[in-house]
Amino acid sequence: MAKVLRPLGSTSVVRLVTFGFAAFVGMDAATAQSGSPTAKLGAPPQERALASTQPASTEQVTPKHAEQYYIEFRSRYAQSYGHTFVVFGRGSGPGKKIRPDQIAGLHPATDSPVPWYIGHVVPVKSETGASEGDTDEIYVSARYRVMLNRAEYDRTLRFIKDLQAKKTLWQAEVYNCNDFVADIARFMGLKVPSTFLFPKDFITGIRDLNSKSRPVVSTELKPTTAVAPTPTGPQNP
């Protein structure tokens, strides 16, 4: 069901200003929060890339069950404040090639930047699958992986599919990509930081709040030292 835009209170204004300021000082807003699967994606800023070259924080525990399944919370770079989403599947973690149907994340529909701009004021139609850049490791800014057994994975996947069907609107201040990912994390029993944070800080926050409470967890901050190439794709007029 469509979410009704509530009146802006003082907290809402702070959130809108936070997202809006970061957005409009950016370059091409079409991919700031993954406006579409085919919008042009910019390379991570060099200074931000160098800041993430710290040693990765990793915790690996061998699961007792034979079958392994995972939900990986991710953030990636974009030409403005970035994007958060989840990757899921069978095994110990995502491989080098991730299929679009293994990704769930909320972002404005179509490859036009117009809905993204409008979505900072009123709700706009959303998409809940992969957007351009989500499958590319070079754009990953932070990640937090949780290992699950088959029953846990099946329950979580059903919740994700249900969430994808219900969340048809995106709005920067009311319900954005952080809120979508936060709903998944809460369903899994994870602690979640403020969704006011920028994507990389939001995913890092989930990691920091939960890394000591989950029995089987893999965490990593992606080290990036080079400027990524800009992928190209068809553009709508």
Residue 213's pLDDT band, with cuts at 50, 70 and 90, is confident
Q: Flag whether the pTM goes above 0.75.
A: no
Structure-block tokens of residue 197: 């944070």
Q: Rounded mean pLDDT of 75-102?
A: 92
b vs e for 62-100, b when ≥16 Cβ sit within 10 Å of the residue's Cβ? eeeeeebbbbbbbbbbbbbbbbbbbbbbeebebeeebee
Whether pLDDT at 231 is above 80: no
Residue 210's pLDDT band, with cuts at 50, 70 and 90, is very high
Q: Rounded mean pLDDT of 197-219?
A: 80
Per-residue pLDDT tens digits for 105-131? 999 998 788 888 899 999 999 999 999
Q: Which of 41-50, 119-128, 168-177, 192-201 has the lowest mean pLDDT?
A: 41-50
Task: Tell me how far CA of residue 16 lies from CA of 2, 35, 189, 209, in angstroms.
Answer: 20, 18, 28, 25
Tell me the three state secondary structure of residue 203.
helix
Structure-block tokens of residue 47: 């200074």
Consecutive H or E run containing 47: helix 46-51
Distance in angstroms (rounded) separating the CA atoms of residues 36 and 129? 10
Residue carrying the six token digits 């219900």: 166
Domain locations in the chain as residue ranges: 11-220
**Top-confidence residue, 21 or 151:** 151
**Top-confidence residue, 143 or 2:** 143
Q: Would you list the DSSP string of 109-174?
A: SSS-HHHHHHTTTS-EEEE-S--TTTT-GGGEEEEEEEEE-HHHHHHHHHHHHHHHHH--EEBTTT
